[in-house]
Amino acid sequence: MLYENDTQQSEITTIKLMFDGEEDGEHFKVSGSANGIAMMISDHHGNLAFPGKHLNQSKLNSDMQFNYRLNLIGNKDVIRSGDLHLTLRFRIDYN
C-alpha cells in the first residue's frame, strides 16, 4: 500500500491500532444511569484492548479486516440497570 506525502511516496508496511476512551480500571468506562458496568474490547484472538494503549503491531496487507468484540462486564461496583453510553476513539498509526 502506498501513501502519498507531499512530493514523495513511501511504502506503508506496519500498523498499530489503539482504542481510547475514559478508563474504568483496565476497561472502558460507560456513562448513564446504569452502574457497575464497564466495556471490554478484544480482538478475534482474545487479546484485550486497554484504553490509550496500542494493540500489537501488524503487517499491513490489502485484504485486512479489523474484527473486535465489545462486551459489557461487571466492574466490581453494585450493578444497577439503566441506560448507558460510551464514546470511543479508534486510532491507526502506520509506518
Q: Is the pLDDT of residue 34 over 90?
A: yes
Band of residue 60 on the pLDDT scale cut at 50, 70, 90: confident
- 5 pLDDT band (50/70/90 cuts)? low
Range(s) of the domain holding residue 64: 2-89
**Quick check: 65 pLDDT over 90?**
no
User: How many domains does the chain contain in total?
Assistant: 1
Segments in 5-92 forming alpha helices (H):
none
Confidence band of 95 (pLDDT split at 50, 70, 90): confident
Structural domain contains residue 14:
yes
Q: Given this model, what pLDDT does residue 94 score? A: 87
Q: Are 23 and 31 in contact (CB under 8 A)?
A: no
Mean pLDDT of 14-41: 96
95 domain residue, yes or no: no
Cα–Cα distance between 50 and 32 in angstroms, integer? 21
- Is the per-residue pLDDT at 2 higher than 90? no
The predicted pLDDT at position 4 comes to 55
What's the CATH number where 75 sits? Answer: 2.60.40.1090
Instruction: Output the CA angle 71-72-73, nearest 5 degrees.
Output: 110
Across 37-48, average pLDDT: 95
Mean pLDDT value across the chain: 89
